[in-house]
Amino acid sequence: MTRAITQDAQRLVVKIGSALLTNNGAGLDRDAIDGWVEQIAQLLAQGKEIVLVSSGSIAEGIVRLGWKTRPGSIHELQAAAAVGQMGLIQTYESSFQRFDRLTAQILLDHDDLANRQRYLNARSALQTLIQLNVLPIVNENDTVVTDEIRFGDNDSLAALVANLIDADLLVILTDKDGLYSANPDLDSSAQLISEAMADDSSLDALAGGSNSSLGRGGMVTKLQAARLAARSGCNTVIVGGRNSEILTAVTQGQQVGTLLTASQQPLAARKQWLAGQLQVKGQLVLDAGAVKVLQQQGRSLLAVGVTQVKGQFTRGELVSCVDTGGREIARGLVNYHSDEADRIKGQGTERIAEILGYREDDELIHRDNMVIS
């Protein structure tokens, strides 16, 4: 029996951990990387959309610098990340060139995705790269991050990227075959958990007992990542990255690893997040034509349909769209600052650049970032 969820997934985030990439700290495992790259290239050729989230920069930097142990200083870790990132991206770039695939390096930190303006900027950049058939390779910006750098951080980053691009499936490649009923290193009777709901609280004790070589709590961070991804309706597979043709097996619907399912579809979950979890910062008053377009056709909001701008807001913040009587029609993430929106209200899209001196987006609010009331 196949897993339709993984077989039907069109947009995927694939996360590869440091233990796999560096063969447990021995330097980049180029043969293994070539294997994953070949599978990703095959999936891209099939029309799948993929964003790769890769750890490994610090581990590779430690090897390149000739250090025997992982340093404790944050500044030394930042230096290792800077050195290692060069080797990591060079390796990916040369490997993907075998398949005539362009790659792009994206360095993010959690603040980039917590800030609504930078969230939209990152989302737009990734969406554009996907449309251009360029493979984005995302890593945490460890060179400048101020929090303590630790293994496992990229699990949650991968989940946030899945949220960011509305992914169908997050695939976390790890040095374990999945989530077990007990620690398989200590208990020979431990059974692989094939499938569960991501929000199943009984999984916490199981993940807490794991002993991943990625560091303390390695499986815990993967379970947390699956729950974070599930907030936008994205399902997660935690699976052994060293298994032969593993990405192919996952996307063919084979029952490998642990599938953690979300309780909602991506669109429904995203709309719920927009509707209930963000504070409204301003208001756009719409004319009758814009109200009709939003309610009956589900299209994006253009500046030409706005008659009045109220409040102060910046790009990426949530605004309410109301009719002339004050009744809320929709709410969504706005693409322009309030002063810019006020200057282009009532104007056609072709005039935005003339008025502002540039045109960031055609829409004031894109339909993907809007929920109808």
| Secondary structure class of 93 (helix, strand, coil) | helix
Same domain, 210 and 290: no
Q: Which residue has the tokens 């990703």?
A: 40
Are residue 67 and residue 183 in the same domain, yes or no? yes
Same domain, 91 and 195: yes
Calculate the average pLDDT of the chain.
86
Window from 66-80, 185-199, 262-276 with minimum mean pLDDT? 262-276
Domain boundary among 223, 252, 270: 270
Q: What is the CATH number of the domain that holds 67?
A: 3.40.1160.10
Q: Which residue has the higher pLDDT, 213 or 310?
A: 310
Find out whether 284 and 308 touch, Cβ atoms under 8 Å: yes
Bigger pLDDT: 252 vs 120: 252
Q: Which of 208, 239, 270 is the last residue of a domain?
A: 270
- Mean pLDDT: which of 27-31, 58-62, 96-100 is highest? 96-100
Beta strands in the chain (DSSP E): 11-16, 49-54, 103-108, 135-140, 169-174, 195-197, 235-240, 258-261, 280-286, 306-310, 318-322, 328-333, 370-372
Looking at the structure, do residues 264 and 286 belong to the same domain, yes or no? no
pLDDT value, residue 211: 43
Same-domain status, 23 and 162: yes
DSSP 340: H
Is residue 139 located within the same domain as residue 286?
no
Range of the domain at 57: 4-270
Which token pair is 82? 């800077």
Domain count, the chain: 2
The two tokens of residue 90 are 């060079």
Alpha-carbon distances of 240 from 43, 172, 213, 290, 356, rounded to whole Å: 18, 8, 13, 50, 51
pLDDT band at 214 (very low <50, low <70, confident <90, very high): very low
Assess whether 150 and 282 both reside in one domain. Answer: no
Claim to verify: residue 44 and residue 75 sit in the same structural domain: yes
Strand order of the β-sheet with 306-310 is 306-310, 280-286, 318-322, 328-333, 370-372
- Which pLDDT tens digit goes with each residue over 241-281? 999 999 999 999 999 999 999 987 666 666 666 665 567 89
Which pTM does this prediction carry? 0.76
Of residues 264 and 195, the one with the higher pLDDT is 195
User: Tell me, what amino acid is at 115?
Assistant: N
Structure tokens at 174: 């790890």
pLDDT of residue 146: 56
Beta bridge partners of 372: 330
Q: Verify that 190 and 336 share a domain, yes or no.
A: no
Rounded distance between C-alpha atoms, residue 101 and residue 97, angstroms: 6
Which of 270, 298, 322 lies at the terminal end of a domain, its last residue? Answer: 270
CATH number at residue 367: 2.30.130.10
- Find, among 52, 55, 45, 53, the residue nearest to 18 by Cα: 55
Q: Identify whether residues 68 and 153 lie together within a single domain.
A: yes
